Structure 1
Amino acid sequence: MNIRYCYHGIMNCEPGYFWGPGLKEQYKIMFVHEGRGIYQFNGNTFYLEKGQGYIVFAGTVCYMKADEREPWVYSWIAFDGDQAGPLLEDAGLSPSSPIFSFSSGSWFQLYLDKWDAAATCDNRGELRVHSVLYQFLADWLEMMMVTKQLPAGYQAKEGYIRKALDFIHINYAERISISGLAEMIGIDRVYLSNIFKESMRVSPQQYLLQYRMDKACELLLDSELTVSEIARSVGYGDPLLFSKMFKKLTGAAPTYYRASHLPARV
């Protein structure tokens, strides 16, 4: 199997710590052990928490950010090679579906310890880290085959969720109701809410709210629009309601968020 070990690690992130947007040269399997964070990739924003993992695909641009209140602790293994992409496909993971779940973080910690030990070996260290990599991939694939058993109708569910995400990403600045979203897709509102939360780990309402606030953060830092203008730009006709929701999610009022994240003007 042409897969090469690159590096591994674990990070206890500070609140709001982020990486990117940027490009990674290797594939990375990421495991979230504690806390929460977001992963933006391929036009989607994923809200992740303890017990979930995600794939960073080689040669693609992504963005990762720890939650402001419950910053995540995550670990990773990075690798490359001609068979890396096909191996991830065997696990049921792809750029359109990069998220997975796992039951025990201590399981991966054992492999981190093995890589640490192998890396300190004076002789045959490279051979040892690759041996541990293949051992890990075999166990991980077996775990994925169990947890990724796809029920009947999975492709249809994935299609509905894809349509919902696309609609939100295009129309977040408009008035959106979940009933209207479900009607547009052609399914029941309750069914949409159930499958959306099952896949994304948040309800459609929560996802829409967080997506709007992410866009608001971008506008606060990258534009000179007023708070009222930004509120309208992300779907809020009432600037006071926007400010209230923004502070609820970020812990800071829009004006304070802008002032605290931009360099002081001389």
Structure 2
Amino acid sequence: MTLNTYNEFDNNNFDLNIDHYGFESCPPNYAFGPSVRNNFVLHYIIEGSGQFTIYNKVTSLGAGDIFILPKDAVTYYQADGDQPWSYIWVGFSGSRAESILLQSSLMAKCFATSQKDSKILNQMYRLIAYADKKFTESNELEIIGELYKLLAFLIEEFPNQEAQESHNNHKKYMKQALKIIHSLYDTPLQVTTIAEKLNLNRSYLYKIFKEETGQSIKDYILMVKMKKSCDLLINSSLTISQIASSVGFTDPLAFSKAFKKTYQVSPLQFRKINE
């Protein structure tokens, strides 16, 4: 007899979260849905069969098949009446979840047939093995690492060539954008300026930067300026006005307001705290 398992996590990693995972040995005709989820749930069918419905299309699936419940999509799935399926699943979310999944062809139909001795299945077993471990901050980091590995195997087995080429272009533009930001943080740098230097549409640059980092390019520029100002406050004797100018602010008052909004203390208070 196979015991069903279920584990749910309460964590708040911004890029990628593992929300829950488990194993289900379904009774005949057991069904779930129709429903909409706020995360992604990957299933691997170990044995038996059933039907999976998404985008109003019904597909029969069996052992060795994979299906995914996408975020915000209506799905329905039901075990067969004679040979009900057993499956292992992992639910996850985060700002990078969708962009990572889109690098896999699995997202086109939301189901596929896996290879024999699939790395995906072995990795899913590694994940649910954490059910036997005491949950600690260290284990949380480990399991997020295992989730990244699972998604890497998913892309490896079911690559989306077009998406990966696009992703490679994104990486190239990101590298160039970051180089510009770290070179010109001491100027009143605008997103439009970076877009013009890269010969990109401003909205497109904003979109790919957000997808890759989980934050807006405007927020990233400010973060770089604020971190550099902290270094100058601690390791130099420059005045606040001079530091403001050194990180691209023409108005010292605007700099002080931005600094306090970021760190909840004024630049002078920060300097005194770190003396």
TM-score (norm 1): 0.50
Q: Which of 1 and 2 has greater Rg? A: 2
